[in-house]
Amino acid sequence: MFETLWQAVSQVKSKNDVQLFLEDILSPTEKIMIAKRLAIASLLLRNYEYEAIKNILKVSQGTIAKVAQTLKFNKGYRIVIEKVQRSEDMKEFWQTIERIGHRFISKQYQTAPDELIKKKLGHERKTLVR
């Protein structure tokens, strides 16, 4: 069964075909869960702290920890994220994440300089998020 699944996924090449396939095989909840896990992995690879990820994506610390553990010992997330990061869609995705992060920080601290939001998480942002 798994071999058939791997083969099926590897044969789907266009974005439209992938979307149609995933729409057919995944429930709405499963699609959200998978998308959030991928976003968590992306944010972890960009050095976002757990608390920021939790608030931006509305996920539990346990879910973040599971993804972090997978990132530590496996390669699947990294392979996909590296490939996707090169695409225009990913650039749009990160712009959206940065806007969401900006709103979160702005609400919590009322003022957050844009340059802190746009930087990969550094010491300054870690301090803001706490």
pLDDT one-digit tens code per residue, 117-129: 444 434 433 434 4
What is the reported pLDDT for 111? 40
Concatenating the DSSP letter of every residue in 23-77 gives HHHS-HHHHHHHHHHHHHHHHHHTT--HHHHHHHHT--HHHHHHHHHHHHH-SHH
What is the reported pLDDT for 104? 60
Which tens digits make up the pLDDT trace of 22-80?
Answer: 999 999 999 999 999 998 998 899 888 999 999 889 999 999 999 999 999 999 999 99
Which tens digits make up the pLDDT trace of 68-118?
Answer: 999 999 999 999 988 887 777 677 777 777 777 666 655 554 444 444 444
